[in-house]
């Protein structure tokens, strides 16, 4: 079996804007292995959610995507729509953010979880519903056989996230792409969601998050995104113990438990991405001459980092 489950090569996403095209994702190379749990972290607007959607070509029609996304020997960006529809949900599932309007408010929860089972696995309605109920039960919805007939507004935030995960795994997808599963939820729910994601053993999971607490406990590998580029990829222990990129170090130093030290300045505007030089250089405490050129992604024993400090 191919050890790499999903691989993006030179993936670039651009959106039309009054000034021309804006680059939300810029030349991303990222591979996730079978059974691996990876977290993609970065601040708001760094392009991490767009990257996740681009992997399954779920972006709005105006978006311009280039590069390759390899899954089981196929380039998903060039697959015909019908083939892609069989992959989406059936093999690679997208789990949206739980706090927003990801669930249909006028359909019962059980019906929504049963839908991918009828569509992808060819079940009839009744057995699909039974399967949906057992799935909800397994993911910790109390009294699932009754609550499956309730509507999303009767569910709490943590339970909605459970339902979305249930929909994601309903058609037995092996690769899950989860968008900010812990955004805006409180401490207890966060722990609940962490345990829920940990319970999905043997799945390949790529999650986008800015929650480092969750990342530390959940992920085996961490990728950091800054201004549309991947700036660091490392194993979890490496990232939290010995972060290399100055941005990654600043990110960790900003944690309350590690001193709450803010990084001055702001991420560069999208329009300035075309300018030469490292995109972090304006906020970087270690900036030097070479930062005028754009750094490539260097590799040091499996730890990848986009910074001239590590050029050797």
Partner 1 sequence: MLVEAKTLSKTYKIGWFKKRLVRAIEQADISVNKGETVGVVGESGSGKSTLGLLLTGLLKPDGGQIFFNGEDIASLKAGQRAAYRRQAQIIFQHPETAFNPKWKLIRSLAEPYYLHKIPFSEESLFRRLAEVGLYVEHLARYPFQLSGGELQRAAIARVMVLEPEFIVLDEPTSMLDAITQAQIIGLLQEIQKEKGVAYLFISHDLDLAGVFCQRVYRLKEGKLQLT
Query: Phi and psi of 88, rounded to 5°?
Result: -60, 125
In the complex with partner 1, the residue whose CB is nearer, 36 or 180, is 180
Helices (H), the chain: 48-55, 81-87, 109-121, 125-138, 144-147, 157-170, 187-198, 212-218, 236-241, 246-253
CB of residue 254 to partner 1, shortest distance in Å: 4
* Cα(308)–Cα(149) distance, integer angstroms: 57
CB of residue 40 to partner 1, shortest distance in Å: 13
CB of residue 246 to partner 1, shortest distance in Å: 12
Tell the burial category of 297 from Cβ atoms under 10 Å away from its Cβ (0-12, 13-18, 19+).
middle
Count of C-beta atoms within a 10 Å radius of residue 258: 12
In the complex with partner 1, the residue whose CB is nearer, 71 or 214, is 214
Query: Phi and psi of 291, rounded to 5°?
Result: -65, -10
CB of residue 112 to partner 1, shortest distance in Å: 24
What burial letters (b/e) apply to 39-49, b meaning 16+ CB within 10 Å? bbbbeeebbbb
In the complex with partner 1, the residue whose CB is nearer, 44 or 81, is 44
In the complex with partner 1, the residue whose CB is nearer, 102 or 251, is 251
CB of residue 48 to partner 1, shortest distance in Å: 11
DSSP track, 26-90: EEEEEEEETT-EEEEE--TTSSHHHHHHHHTT-S-TT-EEEEEEEETTEETTTS-HHHHHHHBTT
CA angle 38, 132, 154 (to 5 degrees): 90
CB of residue 214 to partner 1, shortest distance in Å: 12
In the complex with partner 1, the residue whose CB is nearer, 149 or 266, is 266
CB of residue 298 to partner 1, shortest distance in Å: 23
In the complex with partner 1, the residue whose CB is nearer, 75 or 186, is 186
In the complex with partner 1, the residue whose CB is nearer, 264 or 289, is 264
Q: Residues interacting with partner 1, by CB under 8 A?
A: 42-45, 157, 183-189, 210, 212, 250-251, 253-257, 260-264
Among residues 286, 305, 287, the alpha carbon closest in space to that of 296 is found at: 305
């Amino acid at each position: 079996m191919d050890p790499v489950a999903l691989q993006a090569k030179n993936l670039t996403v651009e959106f039309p804007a009054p000034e021309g095209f804006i680059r939300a994702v810029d030349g991303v190379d990222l591979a996730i292995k079978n059974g691996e749990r990876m977290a993609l972290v970065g601040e708001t607007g760094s392009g991490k959610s767009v990257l996740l959607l681009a992997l399954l070509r779920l972006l709005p029609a105006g978006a311009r995507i280039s590069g390759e996304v390899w899954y089981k020997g196929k380039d998903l960006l060039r697959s015909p729509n019908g083939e892609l529809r069989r992959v989406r949900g059936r093999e690679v599932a997208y789990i949206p953010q739980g706090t927003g309007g990801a669930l249909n408010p006028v359909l019962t929860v059980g019906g929504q979880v049963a839908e991918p089972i009828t569509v992808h696995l060819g079940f009839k309605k009744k057995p699909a519903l039974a399967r949906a109920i057992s799935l909800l039960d397994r993911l910790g919805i109390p009294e699932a056989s009754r609550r499956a007939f309730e509507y999303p507004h009767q569910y709490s935030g943590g339970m909605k996230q459970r339902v979305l995960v249930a929909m994601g795994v309903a058609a037995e997808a092996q690769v899950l792409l989860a968008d900010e599963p812990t955004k805006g939820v409180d401490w207890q729910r966060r722990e609940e969601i962490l345990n829920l994601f940990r319970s999905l053993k043997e799945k390949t999971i790529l999650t986008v998050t800015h929650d480092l607490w969750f990342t530390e406990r959940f992920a085996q590998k961490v990728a950091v995104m800054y201004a549309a580029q991947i700036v660091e990829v490392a194993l979890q222990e490496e990232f939290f113990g010995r972060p290399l990129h100055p941005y990654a170090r600043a990110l960790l130093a900003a944690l309350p438990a590690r001193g709450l030290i803010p990084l001055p300045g702001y991420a560069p505007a999208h329009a300035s991405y075309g300018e030469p030089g490292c995109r972090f250089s304006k906020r970087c405490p270690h900036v030097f001459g070479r930062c005028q050129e754009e750094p490539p992604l260097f590799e040091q024993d499996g730890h990848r980092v986009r910074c001239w400090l590590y050029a050797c």
